[in-house]
Amino acid sequence: MLVRRTTLLLLSSLALAGAALPGRAADAPLKVVASFSILGDMVRQIGGAHVELATLVGPDGDAHMFEPTPADAEKLASARLLVVNGLGFESWLPRLVEAAGFAGTTVVASEGAQLRSLDEAEEHDHAEDGHHHHGHHDPHAWQDLANGVTYARNIGQALAETDPAHAEDYRRAAEAYASRLQELDAKVRAEIAAIPPGRRKVVTSHDAFGYFGDVYGITFIAPVGRSTEAEPSAFDVARIIDQIRQENISAVFVESIANTRMIEQIAQETGATIGGALYSDALTGPEGDAPTYEMMFTWNVRQLTQAMAGS
Ligand code: ZN
């Protein structure tokens, strides 16, 4: 106890000594932890060189099923700001925060976003999916770029409050980023509006595109029996083939490897286009299709419009 106290006192006098040297303490980057890759990208866009960023669920990671390690607790223990999505997306986070003894500020990036309610069927599907969504709102709010603007402003504000020495830089970067997202939003709307409404129906086995569908005017239809564990039955496949024919669905996107065979059979028997990968809950690494939030949208919209146009 005494030893620890002495160490703490020593550390605080060192910190004071450091602060007395002009510029020194202020130059140390702000330690920020983001819960998953999309928020990590937003923090990087806004915080730039002022921030030392650690992302818990990295590129290609599944934030729904994440199991934190002691190394994650260490990252969090030394951070001053934690950026989370909220809406029940990171169900593993409260335990990690406690284990790490995190004493910094937490910002919920989705605060003030336009939320989409989950109906009972969707909540049930999420549970079957292995998704751990608590609450009645769809957590994938970033799939609407107008919400992305809200996220950007929340993150900019939190960075400015946590690191007042660079507040102006954060605010300026957040506004510039928000403007880019607004321009991208207009571009996405225009590109999707160019597809005849009757063709804007696609099948995907991922349930994360509810916001995207509502806002940009695409109907995303889930194939039946999409649990990753259960093999779809012949009855399931026949039912969805009927549905695709009746509803004139133009494209099928392969999201989950477990369902590939089923989706290919459906495409063969209906003539619907098989689309490429869509990214929803995680970015790719720097060499991949979707290394940033903006590039994720650009990629997804190109995949969707090409497939819906039947090219
Ligand atoms: Zn998800």
Instruction: Encode pLDDT of 250-288 as tens digits.
Output: 888 865 435 567 777 887 898 888 888 899 999 999 999
| Mean pLDDT of all residues in 293-297 | 98
What is the 160 CA–ligand 1 centroid distance (Å)?
A: 29
**Could you tell me the CATH number of the domain that includes residue 264?**
3.40.50.1980
Q: In the prediction, which pLDDT does 256 show? A: 47
Mean pLDDT, all residues of the chain: 85
pLDDT at 142 exceeding the cut of 70: yes
The model's pLDDT over 202-251, given as tens digits with 9 standing for 90+, comes to 988 778 999 999 999 999 987 655 444 456 677 777 887 888 888 888 88
d(CA 33, CA 40): 8
Last residue in a domain, options 155, 183, 211: 183
Q: Is residue 190 part of a domain?
A: no
Q: What is the 122 CA–ligand 1 centroid distance (Å)?
A: 12
214 CA → ligand 1 middle, Å: 16
* Helix ranges restricted to H, the chain: 2-20, 24-27, 37-47, 70-77, 93-100, 120-128, 145-162, 167-193, 210-216, 234-247, 260-270, 293-309
Residue 175 and residue 199 in one domain = no
pLDDT > 90 in the chain, percent? 63
104, 233: one domain: no
pLDDT at 7: 41
Query: What is the tens place of the pLDDT at every residue in 31-87?
Result: 999 999 999 999 999 999 999 999 999 999 999 889 999 999 999 999 999 999 999
Total domains in the chain come to 2
Between the CA of residue 135 and those of 122, 124, 126, what are the distances in Å? 12, 12, 11
Q: Ligand 1 centroid vs 279 CA: distance in angstroms?
A: 10
Instruction: Identify the domain containing residue 279 by its residue range.
Output: 195-309
What is the Å distance from ligand 1's center to 285 Cα?
Answer: 18
* Residue 61, domain member (yes or no): yes
The pLDDT of residue 33:
98
Q: Are 274 and 252 in contact (CB under 8 A)?
A: yes
Last residue of a domain, one of 142, 161, 183: 183
